[in-house]
Amino acid sequence: MSRSGWLGLIPVGMGLFMVLLDVSVLNVALPSIARDFNARMSDIQWILNSYTLTMVVLLVLAGRIGDMVRRDRYFMGAMALFTVSSFLCAQAWSTGSLIFFRVLQAVGGAMLSGNTLAIITELFPPGKRGAAMGLNSILVASSFTLGPIIGGWLTTHLSWHWVFYLNVPVGIVSVILAYLLLPPLGAKEKVPVDFAGAVLLAVALGSLTLGIINGQDWGWRDEKTLGCFAISIPYLIAFALRELSYEYPLLDLSLFRIRNFTVGILAVSILFFGMSSSLFVLPYFLQGIKSLSAADSGYWMIVLPLVNTVFSPLAGRLSDRINPKYLMCAGPVLFTLGMYNLSGIEENVSYWEFFVKLMPMGIGMGMLMSPSFNVIMASVPPEKAGMANGTVRSVNTLSQAMGVTVGGVLLTNRMKDWLGNYGNQIPDPGTMALLRVLALKGNPLPLVAMVESFMDSMHYLFSVMMWLPLLSMLVILLFLSGEEHLRRMRVLAVRKGEVEG
């Protein structure tokens, strides 16, 4: 299965990369979309948020359904839906139609990303999954940094429509390769789908995510924000009670009694929170403060996927051979070192200085994420792999949304201490171009104030958030059982040998 497993992973990796890329690649195209549709800021926010909300709401359900059907056919159907909806997004004639097609796109994306780890678990036997899990980590890091490069080039040289058209040929090739290369992946469980539980979870996570995403714009004490949080709590409680009493739960809460499953999810979600809460400011530093193009700023951040490509497969492979706790603890420490480097970065930093300062973060991501995904998926019963996969993706997506929101609050509140009458203005390229024109006309004070306030606030943000990866490390150090993972790998390998014998 090892060789056929790697071949089968080709279309799966292509699909996952496109789903993850579709978030970062669109950010660069939003100004062009706003211009063509004469869109309001709220419309632009919903083009992004509709995708995130739908993904969070559907990931657990999508993963659970994957346990009940042939996962290879499920993947091909999801890829087809994602491809068709991407084409429709490119053909959108208004912000309303684009938002609707983005929701369809997210449905396909949830079906894809909610089953990727489960497919890897089926394709690779125990003891061989670590390197494959490393590929998952590479795709996460690569999509974050390559998105601005790809999106910037397409938007500049073609149009924003090509941000979506790009998915079409990749999707078609992925479906064809999946048909040719993926082996039959039969259903692990054939039980009724808990649609009542799905509705309860959708309302709970949807309202929670909506409050998190829009809280800063609405105001954290605004009745709409408080209403979203107030709605989510009873629905989460109702969902938990439903799952504890229902014979065929959408999410088997007993999974959280599995020590390594819970610890792994918690550790990765803390890192995702810290990563998204701080790294979102780097494009503004590179494009606004340093006046780089969107594509050039992507090249400045390419160190993340570059070193991740080296260390993720290595860490994943080693996690099946040595105690994964050591690798998983080293990852957050290195990530913290990278955040510490950025907490004192200067405006005139050179490319190679920036490359070296950012490098520990890329290494740290690889050393934590691929072993973590391996440990998480190895700890659950095979028939629950899709359920576990959807839970991991849902929690991570929610952590990222929360991270960006909290990071934005910390950044803007700090800038308010510097600037009088501050209106949540950030150094985007358009704002900085205007301020530079004013400086050339003899009024440099607004430009100086913006640069100084943003640089200080960015340093502050990194100095605060650098402690989160250390919290992740502490969780792993105190609670993860690396010996249990290695013991489980040996038992599963013996069982597989007996079946093949």
- Rounded CA-CA distance 187/190 in Å is 7
- Checking if the pLDDT of 99 tops 90, the result is no
pLDDT of residue 80: 92
Task: Work out the angle at residue 454's Cα, subtended by the Cα atoms of residues 25 and 451, and round it to the nearest 5 degrees.
Answer: 105
Taking residues 304-328, what's their average pLDDT? 81
pLDDT of residue 45: 66
| pLDDT tens for each residue of 401-431 | 777 778 877 887 788 777 766 555 667 667 7
Query: Helix or strand or coil: residue 62?
Result: helix
- Rounded CA-CA distance 430/446 in Å is 14
Least confident range from 128-132, 213-217, 232-236, 387-391: namely 128-132
Q: Which two tokens stand for residue 256?
A: 């959280």
- Checking if the pLDDT of 462 tops 90, the result is yes
- Checking if the pLDDT of 81 tops 90, the result is yes
- Rounded CA-CA distance 7/20 in Å is 21
Most confident of 44-48, 127-131, 227-231, 481-485: 227-231
pLDDT of residue 352: 92
pLDDT of residue 473: 92
pLDDT of residue 498: 46
pLDDT of residue 492: 62
- Checking if the pLDDT of 87 tops 90, the result is yes
- Checking if the pLDDT of 442 tops 70, the result is yes
- % of the chain with per-residue pLDDT over 90: 11
- Checking if the pLDDT of 216 tops 80, the result is no
- Checking if the pLDDT of 272 tops 90, the result is no
Domain boundaries, given as residue ranges, for the chain: 2-193+250-500, 194-249
pLDDT of residue 119: 80
Taking residues 371-380, what's their average pLDDT? 83
Taking residues 345-363, what's their average pLDDT? 90
- Average pLDDT over the chain, rounded to an integer: 80
- Its pTM stands at 0.79
Taking residues 467-477, what's their average pLDDT? 91
Phi/psi at 192 (nearest 5 deg)? -65, 145
Q: From the CB of residue 96, how many other CB atoms can be counted at a distance below 10 Å?
A: 12
Q: How far apart are the first and last CA of the chain?
A: 15
- Checking if the pLDDT of 11 tops 80, the result is yes
Taking residues 127-147, what's their average pLDDT? 67
- Rounded CA-CA distance 496/492 in Å is 6
Q: What is the topology classification, in CATH, of domain 2-193+250-500? A: Growth Hormone; Chain: A; (1.20.1250)
Least confident range from 43-57, 193-207, 354-368: namely 43-57
